[in-house]
Amino acid sequence: QRYARLAGDRRERYPHSLQFYLEPPTESISLVEFESFAIDRLRLLKVVENLGVSYVRTSDAYKVKLEAELRKLKFPYRALAEDDYEARRKDHISHFILRLAYCQSEDLRRWFLQQEMDLFRYRFNELTESLMQKFLEHVNLSFEAIGEDLKNELANELSTSTPGFSLSKVKEQMFYKVGLADAVDLFRARRVFIKDGFAYVPFKEIDVIVLNNYRTKLSKALALTARSLPSIQSDERLQPLLNHLSHSYVGPDYSVQNNTGKISLEQIDALSVKSFPLCMRQLHRALRDSHHLRHGGRMQYGLFLKGIGLTLEQALEFWKKEFIRGKVEADKFDKGYAYSIRHSYGKEGKRTDYTPYSCMKIIMSNPPSQGDYHGCPFRHSDPELLKQKLQTYKIPPSGIAQVLELVKGMHYQLACQKYFELTHDVDDIGFSLNHPNQYFTESQKLLSGGREPKKEFNNSGNFQQKNYSQESINSSSTPTSSNAKVDTELEGLEAYFTED
Ligand code: SF4
């Protein structure tokens, strides 16, 4: 009996597989679950982003691949499934967690909004007509279908004002009377018949209205969540986790390498052309040209080199040789710069073994200023300069146009993937790029014949769950025990989403 009641409650909680995510979750959740839900959704949204630029969104290939990913990650993938409470719960909670992580800057908000919209569009269009109706009622968007008499009366106008609708098609389809404010996009694109302040929208265009509505709600919600940032930032359990989610993308951290010492200093020039991503190629060039890099550049490039296998001794030699060719005296190098290199290898100070920066970290934090060469060229370079750089690197004009198009759409990592494809002469990169060191490893694998160029889009990715929980717990006042990690719960998530 208890089970039956529980099942009833559960169904009530999520009556539809699709949601507008209007109510934040109120239950307590363990940090472990929090973390794994967030990572899975991030992985899903990355796939949505990748698919969105590789396939037409209405194509079968797009749908098949997205459904496969939803299944794999255990998100609701078939609207009809009745017993997917766990999937719906995961969908709900993970959306809100990423909202917290991705409300923190304009760039992050825009990216999150775009991917969530695409995901929603796909899922909405997968609904059967009757489920769409039910969902619309559920979210108070039930529009009034016009009666047959009125439709016959307006048939000519509907046919001429609705592209693709012959008279016979008008007769077949339901039309809805929608307030102009809800149909702005259709109205602007001249895709609907307007009369007396109402748009007459055919059923197949209803998704535009629903998406519009969802976009408005979500972007407002993100802005509101951003306003509660101070309270999020003061939570010592959450903050490291959310920062990690939004800034340093969850791939392998490349700090532990099994290739240490396998690269000689003489190889670096050639490798920088063949296998370095553009950000590192740019830093290497700047270093060779000016025999100096400022702090941001030294950190980004130095840790990358460490990640590809330079030992501490090699790193000291590499930087010293270059710096003393510039204005730095050997003595000054040994006293100053050498310390920070040893530091980044965990040999000085707090003895933290620093991790090479991920793309998200490079893209999102510490933008370069005048005289700096760090950052991500796809994100931080002026498009005209980027174009010139790509021209110097002999990228064909059509390839440059594709890269610039991706940059314009703010798909920086995808632009970098395109650069990889163009410089390695493959049709499909075959992995989802998250990290400059991943770029290097994949390039080396490809060039050494370790993997066949793939034609098929593959999203197996390189995700790895990092264990933040212990770190979060340790930094909070929560008493720790060996299984405290699993037991620790986050209570009252809604506190972070409440309107002010
Ligand atoms: Fe470097 Fe990543 Fe930007 Fe590529 S996307 S240039 S690897 S930061």
Residue 309 lies in a domain: yes
Print the SS3 string covering 269-290: HHHHHHCCCHHHHHHHHHHHHH
CB of 278 shorter than 6 A to ligand 1? yes
Q: Which residue has the higher pLDDT, 243 or 69?
A: 69
Domain count, the chain: 3
Contact call for residues 35 and 465 (beta carbons, < 8 A)? yes
Quick one: pLDDT band at residue 492, thresholds 50, 70, 90?
Answer: very low
Residue 89 lies in a domain: yes
Cα 288 to averaged position of ligand 1 atoms, centre (Å): 20
User: Do residues 121 and 152 both lie within one domain?
Assistant: no
Instruction: Out of 126, 151, 175, pick the residue that ends a domain.
Output: 126
The Cβ-side half-sphere exposure at 26, using a 13 Å CA radius, reads 4
CB of 76 shorter than 6 A to ligand 1? no
Residue nearest atom 5 in ligand 1 by C-alpha distance: 413
Quick one: pLDDT band at residue 267, thresholds 50, 70, 90?
Answer: very high
User: Do residues 434 and 305 both lie within one domain?
Assistant: yes
Mean pLDDT of the chain: 81
Query: What is the model's pLDDT at position 280?
Result: 97
199 by DSSP, 3-state: which? strand
Query: What is the model's pLDDT at position 89?
Result: 92
Q: Which amino acid is at 159?
A: S
Question: Rounded mean pLDDT of 115-122?
Answer: 94
Instruction: Out of 95, 126, 157, pick the residue that ends a domain.
Output: 126
Question: Rounded mean pLDDT of 337-358?
Answer: 80
Residue nearest atom 7 in ligand 1 by C-alpha distance: 436
Residue 432 lies in a domain: yes
Residue nearest atom 3 in ligand 1 by C-alpha distance: 376
The two structure tokens encoding residue 366 = 């510490």
Annotated binding residues, written as ranges, equal 279, 359, 376, 416
CB of 378 shorter than 6 A to ligand 1? yes
Query: What is the model's pLDDT at position 239?
Result: 77
Q: Which residue has the higher pLDDT, 257 or 423?
A: 423
- C-alpha to C-alpha distance for 379 and 394, rounded to whole angstroms: 20
Q: Which helix (H) or strand (E) holds 127?
A: none
Q: Could you count the other beta carbons within 10 Å of the beta carbon of residue 428?
A: 14
Residue 122 lies in a domain: yes
User: Do residues 286 and 352 both lie within one domain?
Assistant: yes
Question: Rounded mean pLDDT of 196-218?
Answer: 88
- One DSSP character per residue, 288-307 reads HHHS---HHHHHHHHHHHHH
144 by DSSP, 3-state: which? strand
Residue nearest atom 6 in ligand 1 by C-alpha distance: 279
User: Do residues 114 and 183 both lie within one domain?
Assistant: no
User: Do residues 323 and 193 both lie within one domain?
Assistant: no
Cα 53 to averaged position of ligand 1 atoms, centre (Å): 17
User: Do residues 196 and 338 both lie within one domain?
Assistant: no
CB of 376 shorter than 6 A to ligand 1? yes
Query: What is the model's pLDDT at position 477?
Result: 29
Q: Which residue has the higher pLDDT, 339 or 233?
A: 339
CB of 359 shorter than 6 A to ligand 1? yes
Quick one: pLDDT band at residue 481, thresholds 50, 70, 90?
Answer: very low
CB of 377 shorter than 6 A to ligand 1? yes
User: Do residues 287 and 427 both lie within one domain?
Assistant: yes
Residue 21 lies in a domain: no
Q: Which residue has the higher pLDDT, 353 or 375?
A: 375
Q: pLDDT tens across 278-318, in order?
A: 999 999 999 999 999 999 999 999 999 999 999 999 999 99
The two structure tokens encoding residue 397 = 């004009």
- Ligand 1, residue 415: give the atom nearest the CA: 5
Instruction: Out of 93, 126, 159, pick the residue that ends a domain.
Output: 126
Residue 327 lies in a domain: yes
User: Do residues 149 and 105 both lie within one domain?
Assistant: no
Residue 155 lies in a domain: yes
The CATH number of whichever domain residue 68 belongs to comes to 1.20.930.80
CB of 412 shorter than 6 A to ligand 1? yes
Query: What is the model's pLDDT at position 257?
Result: 58
Quick one: pLDDT band at residue 258, thresholds 50, 70, 90?
Answer: low
CB of 202 shorter than 6 A to ligand 1? no
Query: What is the model's pLDDT at position 91?
Result: 94
Query: What is the model's pLDDT at position 219?
Result: 92
Quick one: pLDDT band at residue 352, thresholds 50, 70, 90?
Answer: low
Q: Which helix (H) or strand (E) holds 457?
A: none
- One DSSP character per residue, 462-495 reads T------HHHHHHHSSSPP-TTHHHH-EE--GGG
**Nearest 5°: CA angle at 237, between 233 and 241?**
80
Containing domain of residue 382, as a range? 266-448
Cα 109 to averaged position of ligand 1 atoms, centre (Å): 20
Q: Could you count the other beta carbons within 10 Å of the beta carbon of residue 271?
A: 18
Percent of the chain clearing pLDDT 70 (strictly above): 83
User: Do residues 309 and 425 both lie within one domain?
Assistant: yes
Annotated binding residues for [4Fe-4S] cluster, written as ranges, equal 279, 359, 376, 416
Cα 5 to averaged position of ligand 1 atoms, centre (Å): 51
Residue 231 lies in a domain: no
User: Do residues 186 and 332 both lie within one domain?
Assistant: no
56 by DSSP, 3-state: which? coil
pLDDT at 458 over 50: no
Where residue 371 falls (left for φ over 0; alpha for ψ -120 to 50; beta otherwise) is left
Q: Where does residue 188 rank: exposed (0-12), middle (13-18), buried (19+ CB within 10 A)?
A: exposed
Q: According to DSSP H, which parts of 56-196 are helical?
A: 60-72, 85-102, 106-126, 129-138, 148-161, 167-172, 184-188
Residue nearest atom 1 in ligand 1 by C-alpha distance: 279
- C-alpha to C-alpha distance for 41 and 25, rounded to whole angstroms: 16
CB of 416 shorter than 6 A to ligand 1? yes
Question: Rounded mean pLDDT of 109-124?
Answer: 92
Q: Which residue has the higher pLDDT, 241 or 192?
A: 192
pTM for the full predicted model: 0.64
Contact call for residues 323 and 292 (beta carbons, < 8 A)? yes
Query: What is the model's pLDDT at position 466?
Result: 37
Question: Rounded mean pLDDT of 82-94?
Answer: 87
Q: Could you count the other beta carbons within 10 Å of the beta carbon of residue 431?
A: 22
Query: What is the model's pLDDT at position 284?
Result: 97
Q: Which residue has the higher pLDDT, 207 or 93?
A: 93
Cα 369 to averaged position of ligand 1 atoms, centre (Å): 17
Q: pLDDT tens across 20-49, in order?
A: 999 999 888 888 898 889 989 988 998 898
CA-nearest of 287, 249, 247 to 268 is: 287
Percent of the chain clearing pLDDT 90 (strictly above): 36
Q: Which residue has the higher pLDDT, 418 or 160?
A: 418
User: Do residues 158 and 285 both lie within one domain?
Assistant: no
Cα 279 to averaged position of ligand 1 atoms, centre (Å): 6
Distances (CA, A) of 80 to 3, 18, 76: 22, 10, 9
Query: What is the model's pLDDT at position 450?
Result: 62
Mutation to probe ligand 1, out of 50, 276, 278 (largest number of atoms < 8 A from CB): 278
User: Do residues 332 and 429 both lie within one domain?
Assistant: yes
